Structure 1
């Protein structure tokens, strides 16, 4: 090795004092520091990654007369090759011998020259230990190392093949925007920032999973979010000590208030406009990298029956649709159980002509009513699951044709009655109106419990089941917020945007129990309502009439 590494001139010592960046960096933490030898560093990278074929190493020679070896390392498929070639590789190769007047006696000076004069990429950070190096490399960044220097730097050139922004699949809209989240954390947060152009929209990131090192993003609006809620969210996330975090469901199960409940206590969505609206109400959004479904906390029961479409329609239609969803939820939960209770225990409540017709249908049915109901519900659930898991063109045909053929064949064979097929079909159609899949799944499970209670005790069993379910729901919390708010406890101000949505000019306050910091959305001194907006025009007409007089 050249003696210029050890003996420094007076000019070189002075340059080191004036430029702290040029000094060798010592790692004071418990992390293992990089080696000064480029060959040893590259050898360790290859050995640690198992000599993987997708790890690409590009070597360069820099500077005269002190020739220094430089290497760039990246993983094929995780890096944007266009950015890599234009801003890193091309710059290193084209400027390799253009700095003869520079003094490259120290490898740190080579690094400073590369970082300050050659690389045109926007985000360049120092790396001094192996943990940070491997994390950056496996995150898609490019590593630049210099021979003789015990540190390097990372260049943010993440990319590769990513899914383009598409329309929402589970939460479609007629008048609203048609973009949905993707698997890229950066793209997802950017879609939210396009809607909320405020410096108070903050984003914090962390890594979860000892092996996967999945990036988690916490987004909130400073000044609106409750600081106690924010602290609670961070504490629960930091308590997640697992090897792998595959997606948002892993995070959801770890940070939920209650595990043994059928109800979803954390809200998930694929729409950026829904995320923006909840952020402006004081909620916190948790993004998980490689997952297009972020989590929103806290969540309330009423929230799962609201859609983004409610705020793109007039308040009259939006209120009607909300009432329709609540009614469909009750039909999905109690429809088959009420039918079982009426037939088995309370036939006197059925009109006589209808009762005679039902009795004639069930004359040749060999099973009790509860077995018939469970058999049909189980068959429908099998068809639903088969339609989802099979390829889309085939799955739709299986769901439709299978239901028609099996239903007609079962009635013809005398296994089930026609009325039972109608009840099960109506229940299934009603379940499709529930806008969020998590609430639909919970209702499907609870429906079986209600049917069993109805088969034992009739309407009394259904009433008992409803009482237990309501009591359990009232006991739930979502990050300290009552799950049934604004119904239990009753918050009169929040009733304007619960089952009935009032006109937007009257929704002047945020949910009281969510934000607790800045509850007012608009200035109460402003004129609201159509009649008051006509005031200025009427004043102008009155002034005109007075002038004419």
Structure 2
């Protein structure tokens, strides 16, 4: 009798012609011959040392049986206590015509069981962390849910921190992420539609949306784009993001990614679709509008006057992050009349002795800062922040003292860096970082005319963008006055009575009218 640590004799696995070939095992049926079934599984996993084949006897007839599972993917305590223990106690019971239905109904103590008919189903069940039960004389197998692979606990979000609001973030476990959403959206209309993408990785992907709120055409479009994906592997949600966006050549993100469950819950309540991918803490949401990348989750947890003021500052710093270096270069190179004379004299005297033109100074400092920021991200967390701060201070001071750059340029680059940090969405911030260099070149060559031409081309491009058919600049272009209450300013919650017009078109109303708080009437 084999125990759970016995190695199986090796068999040659059939040579495959690559992952494009359909599964060779879909037509291989599970038979009543236990030896035949085990031999097939041994041939498939012949090079894998973590596959466990455990033989044991069931019932008074001493029916030869096997359980098969993958170490590390399966909770072995569950296997021992809820599968092996009840089955091996059947030696006092006569099992008449054993079947997997009877075994699952009376003896298996786990929640999830499925009958398996083909070798392909057996392989899929094992690779998902399930345990497979095979018995002599039974032409079926039983897949038993015993997943127990390691996963990260729910922690505070790393990239979207808030002062006030929930502190939970998604993890790499798809089931945990679904539970985090269901905790917040307690309705039977919340649909979780599961797909499998990736010929080799077979990554589980789940669409989350609220039936009756989301537009059915949007759901169908998302499904169609996901079904068109035919790749070997999907290791992160970014793979899917690049494969389903409308304009793959644009720098601007057209699918929103987030690691916050509360943000996903708010999105699907507006009529959007969430795409959860197993193995990554970042969830995608579609459609995505540009205005949403400039909004933070905390905008909806602070009172609306404070949120409106912060948004004005954020939009101002967004413009600064994009145009400040190019504007400074254009003014100091071509448009001296745009600057007060004392300030112009100060900048000119500070630039004396610098061997490079202003545009070269700007490129040197911008590239240096981007390198420091990248180094701070890649280094270990304990030293990364210190290295980036110390590097910026030391290099900036040394460059000024050596006469390589002027103090004014260091101030401009530092202010630009601070402004870029105010953009809530990292993906949009990365697009602005790249566009900044383009505007810097235009300002150095053509001055304000080049900057205006660049802005005109950028506006034409952004206006033409779509995210799953929805205009990217909605509700500004096309203009939707009823949706402007959550763009620059945020209206109070008692005034947010309808969902965005291009989302949730089946159910626009989300709360009652006349919810404005009123003080109690004073007694006369």
TM-score by length of 1: 0.89
Name 2:186's counterpart in structure 1.
197
Name 1:370's counterpart in structure 2.
359
Tell me the secondary structure at the aligned position of residue 381 of structure 1: helix
Counterpart check, 1:309 vs 2:298: yes
Name 1:143's counterpart in structure 2.
132
Q: Distance in 2 between matches of 1:310 and 1:81?
A: 46
Counterpart check, 1:89 vs 2:84: yes
Structure 2 residue ranges without an equivalent (≥5): 1-24
Q: Is the 8 A contact 1:81 1:160 kept in 2?
A: no
Query: How far off is 1:523 after superposition?
Result: 2.5
Query: How far off is 1:502 after superposition?
Result: 0.5
Q: Decide which of 87, 94, 103 is 2:96's aligned counterpart.
A: 103
Q: Is the 8 A contact 1:226 1:282 kept in 2?
A: yes
Name 1:8's counterpart in structure 2.
none
Change beyond 3 A, Cα 1:469–1:351: same
Name 2:400's counterpart in structure 1.
411
Query: How far off is 1:36 after superposition?
Result: 2.9
Q: Distance in 1 between matches of 2:90 and 2:426?
A: 57
Name 2:27's counterpart in structure 1.
31
Structure 1 residue ranges without an equivalent (≥5): 1-28
Name 1:67's counterpart in structure 2.
62
Q: How does 1:166-185 map to 2 (within 5 A)?
A: 166-185=155-174
Q: Is the 8 A contact 1:302 1:498 kept in 2?
A: yes
Q: Decide which of 502, 514, 518 is 1:513's aligned counterpart.
A: 502
Segments of 4+ in structure 1 off by > 4 A?
none
Q: Is the 8 A contact 2:26 2:119 kept in 1?
A: no
Name 1:500's counterpart in structure 2.
489
Q: Distance in 1 between matches of 2:64 and 2:47?
A: 21
Query: How far off is 1:45 after superposition?
Result: 1.6
Q: Distance in 2 between matches of 1:404 and 1:416?
A: 14
Counterpart check, 1:249 vs 2:238: yes
Q: Tell me the matched-pair count.
A: 500
Counterpart check, 1:278 vs 2:274: no
Q: Distance in 1 between matches of 2:374 and 2:26?
A: 51
The one-character-per-residue Cα deviations of 1:206-227 (angstroms, maximum 9, x if unpaired) are 1101111000000100000000
Query: How far off is 1:30 after superposition?
Result: 5.8
Name 1:471's counterpart in structure 2.
460
Q: Is the 8 A contact 2:58 2:90 kept in 1?
A: yes
Name 1:79's counterpart in structure 2.
74
Name 1:42's counterpart in structure 2.
38
Query: How far off is 1:305 after superposition?
Result: 1.0
Name 1:4's counterpart in structure 2.
none
Q: Is the 8 A contact 1:300 1:484 kept in 2?
A: yes
Tell me the secondary structure at the aligned position of residue 133 of structure 2: strand
Computing the radius of gyration over CA atoms, which structure comes out larger, 1 or 2?
1
Q: Distance in 2 between matches of 1:76 and 1:177?
A: 36
Q: Distance in 2 between matches of 1:258 and 1:85?
A: 52
Query: How far off is 1:139 after superposition?
Result: 0.7
Q: Distance in 1 between matches of 2:421 and 2:324?
A: 14
The one-character-per-residue Cα deviations of 1:382-436 (angstroms, maximum 9, x if unpaired) are 1111110011112112101111111111111111000001100110011111111
Q: Decide which of 51, 55, 58 is 2:54's aligned counterpart.
A: 58
Tell me the secondary structure at the aligned position of residue 96 of structure 1: helix
Query: How far off is 1:473 after superposition?
Result: 0.2
Q: Is the 8 A contact 2:270 2:504 kept in 1?
A: yes
Q: Is the 8 A contact 1:46 1:52 kept in 2?
A: no
Query: How far off is 1:81 after superposition?
Result: 2.5
Q: Is the 8 A contact 1:286 1:294 kept in 2?
A: yes
